[in-house]
A and B are shown apart, each in its own frame.
Chain A
C-alpha cells in the first residue's frame, strides 16, 4: 500500500516514494494528469464507437461482394510486425519515463527518440498498407469494409501521428534543457497518451486482422 501524505502545501517525501508529489489542488491529484485521464476516458468512447461500427458491418456479404474482401487483402504477417513495433514503442516510452525520474537525461532523449521512431515505422507501415489496398481496388467508398477499415485505422494512425509530434516536442524541450527531473510529469502525460494509443491498437488488431470473418 502506498503512503500518501496530507500536507499544508509543502512538498513531503512519503516513505518509499519520490519527493515532491504533493498537489495543491482541490482534488489532491495533479490537474494535468487528471485532464489526460479524463481525455483518455472520453477517447475510449470515441474509439469504441468506431470499433463497434466495424463489428456491426463486418460479415455483411452483400456489401463485401462489391469489392475486394478482407480475406484477400489483409496481410497478417506484415501487420503483426508493425503491431510488434508499436508494442515495443510502449516499452521505450516507459523506459524514457524511468530515465527522467532517476535524472538520466541522456537516456531520456534516446528512449524518446526511439519511441518516436517506432511510432513513425508503424505509421509508415500503415501508409504502405493503405496504398496497397488502394491499388487493389479498395477505397473509402468501395464497400462497408473499406469505409469502416479506413476510418477506424486512419483515425488511429492520426492519433499515433499526434503522439509522435508530442514526443518530438518533449524531446526538443529536453534538448534545450527545459525539462528538469522535477518536471517528469510532462513525460508521464505524453506517455499515458502513447500507451493509450497502443492499447487501442491491441483491440483494432484483434478485431480487424485476427478475428475470423466467417
Chain B
C-alpha cells in the first residue's frame, strides 16, 4: 500500500522511467506536481465494509449494556468504536492514505479546529450554564 508522495522531476518532453531514475529538471522548466494514486482493490473495500458492519453490530450490542455497565465506560467504548469507523472510512474509502498530503492537512485542520472549539464550548457551558 502506498502512502504519501515523493517528488521526482522530469523535464518537458521526457518520460519518467521509474523510482529514483528521473533526470534533473530542464532549466526554466515549471515544476508541476503530479499525484500518483494506487487505490485499494475492490476486495479490500468489501473487507473494510465487513469490518464496519461488525463494528456497528458491536456498537449496538454495547448500547444494550446500559444499566449493567458503568455509563462512562460505555460512552468511552462507543466513542472509540465510532472513531475507528470514522478512520476506516476516511483512510480507505476517501483514500486519505493514498492521496496528497495537502488534502489530509486541510481536512485535519477543520477536524482539529472543530474539536478544540466545541470541546472548549462543551467544557465551559456544561459546567456553568447547564448546572444552573
Contact = CB atoms under 8 A, between A and B. Distances in A.
Instruction: Report, nearest first, the 5 A-B pairs whose CB atoms are least far apart.
Output: A17-B36, A28-B33, A41-B110, A14-B36, A22-B34
A8 interface: yes
B93 A17 contact: no
Interface string B67-104: 00001001100110110011001101111001110110
A interface, over-half SS: helix
Contacts, number: 239
A170 to B, nearest CB: 17
Given A6-B10, A12-B15, A195 B35 contact: no
B12 A10 contact: yes
Interface centre among B33, B113, B117 (most CB of A within 10 A): B33
Interface of B: 2-13, 15-16, 18-19, 22, 25-26, 29-39, 41-42, 45-46, 48-49, 52-53, 56, 59-60, 62-64, 66, 71, 74-75, 78-79, 81-82, 85-86, 89-90, 92-95, 98-100, 102-103, 106-107, 109-111, 113-115, 117-118, 121-122, 125-126, 130
B111 A8 contact: no
Contacts of B38: 2, 16-17
